[in-house]
Structure 1
Amino acid sequence: SESRKIMIEPHGGRLINKELPEREKQRILEQNNEFEKIKTDSETWKVIKNIAFGVFSPLEGFMTENDTLNVLEHMYLENGIAWPFPIVLDSSQDEVSNLKEGDSVILTDNFNNPIALLNIKDIYGYNKKKFAEKVYGTLDKTHPGVNRVFNQKEKLIGGNIYLLKGLPPIFPELDLKPIETRVLFKARNWERVVAFQTRNPPHLGHEYVQKAGLTFVDGLFINPVIGRKKPGDFSDQVIINAYKALIDNYYPKNRVVLSTFETEMR
């Protein structure tokens, strides 16, 4: 049927792309000294990259106060699109003291290199206890996500971002953007694809689920989460090597795509 041949829409109906054309990027970088700066860590840089490449579609930036409150209370964005987890940018009172709605600022890495332009929609305070309890269901600071919330700065900034510098990927050959996976699926004539996201090496249960899925569809998309994890988790290299061995030696040829998802375990 025709419906079978239409690939599923991106979440929210549109695949987001916040990468600037090279000329526009260079213009902003040349004016770098005219912008206020906010320093970010490597985990925030990953979030920026995921927003820019459309991994977090339909998000175009960090959540405003209304979106954050809606997600915490109802797991929906203000526009009614399902979204279970707040994607926010924290900042100190000192950093935002000279900023206001409508301003544009440069987000930098730890070495003050520009990585993104942020157009500010709002700056707001938040209740860390409420935030942690709504997301994680606990206030126990031994939980890494709860601990991160309580270590966040006191203000949040909402607004759209534009990528100026991409984060070097951990596994470059496996770092596919959503648009690239869609092109690849189309090139392979895959009309139906099943996806499997994982944070562990494959075991027999995973193998069974994946092979069972393959009996009903054209292709399997395996999407390991890599990046900072909790103590005791498997290393990224072990996870990737195990999947490469499975795909190269055991799964049907040209029926599987492996692509990483770089993000912090939350």
Structure 2
Amino acid sequence: MENVLSSLIPPHGGKLVYRVLQSAPGKSHLDSLAKIRLDQNKQMDLEQIAVGTYSPIEGFMGEEDFRSVINTMRLADGTVWPLPIVLDVSVETADQLAIGEVVGLSDEQDEVMALLHLEEKFCFDKEETVIKLYGTDSLDHPGVRMIYEMQPVLLGGQVDLIRGRKSETRAYELTPKQLRRLFDDRGWSSVLGFHTRNIPHKGHEFIQLKALEDENCDGLLVQPVVGKKKSGDFKPEYIIKSYEKMIENFYPREMVVLAAFSTFSRYAGPREALFTALCRKNFGCSHFIVGRDHTGVGNYYDPYASHRIFDQFPDLGLKIVKFDEIFYSKKLNQYVQGNSLFPEDENDTLRMISGTQARAMLLRGESPPVWFMRPEISSVVLDSVRSGIQVFEG
């Protein structure tokens, strides 16, 4: 039951979806169902639908919602939603399923994780989809490749989760319900969300603490992504460990919560920036930080497209806190935003700070300078790198 006395931002669409079965159906019933095996990405989507991260969505999208999202970035009922959440199957699989049937959704070990109440089967035009979603049909774009690799038939219908997927970071993967309860218990009403795939450098620290102070929020939710990432990205446990150290030693501990968000990159640039914000709204965030080139993909999108997309949707209900590139000013011995520089700063020795640089230095076993990253944070990674332990995704 939702806390009617909560002063937190309401979930997107007004109601937090929760489609988790209290008791699992019997084995004989599950054995009798037709089954669809889900990969890790689909398992994550399934779980996030069921626990309400994608509220107001209650299942894999039907055709009306799918087409509306692709064309307008809204569900058929007008609610803002930028990305399709779909379940694709082969023609052969679709032909064996009947509308109205209950289908078992299983993991790689063929254990049933959830039930799908099949309401629709429909085909989609991949070429039209990639152009509208990504603005390109180039096969060099990872999102385009992902769509072209999909099966041709989409299944729509509500889901009921029986159990979550197997995950090494499960203890950190708090649901919207759990985080909202935690924020309520702390007496927070305004919560600032931060999305990351990196261990914290001084630029992140500057952004997080400045936004927390400027927006006068009660607390900060740091929520690293722990789903499938690209080669060279930090493994989730190192992002979590480094933030734990950060919170323990350098942040106002009573004002920060660390939790993990299991999802995967859709490579959708500004649409994905909007998606990450709406998910945080469901987790209880009233404010959300969007940096320059947030969820960027190579050079496919203007670095500020992820800022501008929010101007199209004044009805989101949460405040977007926008940041430009962060530089370290040697002259001032402080951190500055690119958009706050003056002509007279041209003589300053400005040093750029980025996650890409951090990964490159740490990969080489180098300690980043103190102005770039706290030594206590870089040592979390370097101690393992120097011991030959794999810190980055392969």
What's the TM-score bracket when you normalise by the shorter of the two chains? over 0.9
- Which one is further off, 149-158 or 128-137? 128-137
C-alpha contact 2:107 2:165 (8 A) present in aligned 1: no
Q: CA deviation at 1:214?
A: 2.3
Identity of counterpart residues, as a percentage? 38
C-alpha contact 1:106 1:116 (8 A) present in aligned 2: yes
Counterpart for residue 265 of structure 2: 265
Q: CA deviation at 1:141?
A: 2.3
Counterpart for residue 238 of structure 1: 238
Q: CA deviation at 1:168?
A: 2.4
Q: CA deviation at 1:213?
A: 2.5
Q: CA deviation at 1:128?
A: 1.0
Q: CA deviation at 1:227?
A: 1.6
C-alpha contact 1:144 1:230 (8 A) present in aligned 2: no
Once residues 111 and 201 of structure 1 are traced to their aligned partners in structure 2, the CA distance between those partners, rounded to angstroms, is 32
Structural RMSD (CA): 1.4
Once residues 68 and 35 of structure 1 are traced to their aligned partners in structure 2, the CA distance between those partners, rounded to angstroms, is 26
Alignment of 1:1-266 (within 5 A): 6-22=7-23, 25-27=24-26, 29-215=27-213, 216-266=216-266
Counterpart for residue 357 of structure 2: none
- Which one is further off, 155-164 or 37-46? 37-46
Once residues 9 and 211 of structure 2 are traced to their aligned partners in structure 1, the CA distance between those partners, rounded to angstroms, is 17
Q: CA deviation at 1:235?
A: 2.4
* One-letter code aligned to 2:257: V
Q: What's the secondary structure of 1:81's corresponding residue?
A: coil
Q: What's the secondary structure of 2:31's corresponding residue?
A: helix
Counterpart for residue 350 of structure 2: none
C-alpha contact 1:120 1:159 (8 A) present in aligned 2: yes
* One-letter code aligned to 1:238: Y
Q: CA deviation at 1:143?
A: 2.5
Deviating runs (4+, > 6 A) in structure 1? Answer: none
* One-letter code aligned to 2:13: G
After superposition, the C-alpha distances for 1:38-58 in whole angstroms (9 at most, x for unaligned) are: 111121111111111111111
C-alpha contact 2:194 2:220 (8 A) present in aligned 1: yes
Q: CA deviation at 1:157?
A: 0.4
Once residues 7 and 133 of structure 1 are traced to their aligned partners in structure 2, the CA distance between those partners, rounded to angstroms, is 37
Please say which structure displays the higher CA radius of gyration. 2
* One-letter code aligned to 2:25: Q
Q: CA deviation at 1:65?
A: 0.5
- Which one is further off, 227-236 or 192-201? 227-236
TM-score normalised by the chain length of structure 2: 0.63
After superposition, the C-alpha distances for 1:114-168 in whole angstroms (9 at most, x for unaligned) are: 1110011110000111112221222222332221111111100010000112112
C-alpha contact 1:89 1:156 (8 A) present in aligned 2: yes
After superposition, the C-alpha distances for 1:167-197 in whole angstroms (9 at most, x for unaligned) are: 1233132111101111111111112211111
Q: Mark the runs of 5 or more structure 1 residues left unpaired by the alignment.
A: none
Point out which structure has higher relative CO (alpha carbons under 8 A, 6+ apart): 1
Q: What's the secondary structure of 1:211's corresponding residue?
A: helix
Once residues 38 and 240 of structure 2 are traced to their aligned partners in structure 1, the CA distance between those partners, rounded to angstroms, is 28
Q: What's the secondary structure of 1:6's corresponding residue?
A: coil
Once residues 183 and 224 of structure 1 are traced to their aligned partners in structure 2, the CA distance between those partners, rounded to angstroms, is 20
Once residues 106 and 220 of structure 2 are traced to their aligned partners in structure 1, the CA distance between those partners, rounded to angstroms, is 37
- Which one is further off, 129-138 or 58-67? 129-138
Q: What's the secondary structure of 1:16's corresponding residue?
A: coil
Once residues 119 and 86 of structure 1 are traced to their aligned partners in structure 2, the CA distance between those partners, rounded to angstroms, is 18
Q: CA deviation at 1:92?
A: 0.5
Once residues 218 and 105 of structure 2 are traced to their aligned partners in structure 1, the CA distance between those partners, rounded to angstroms, is 41
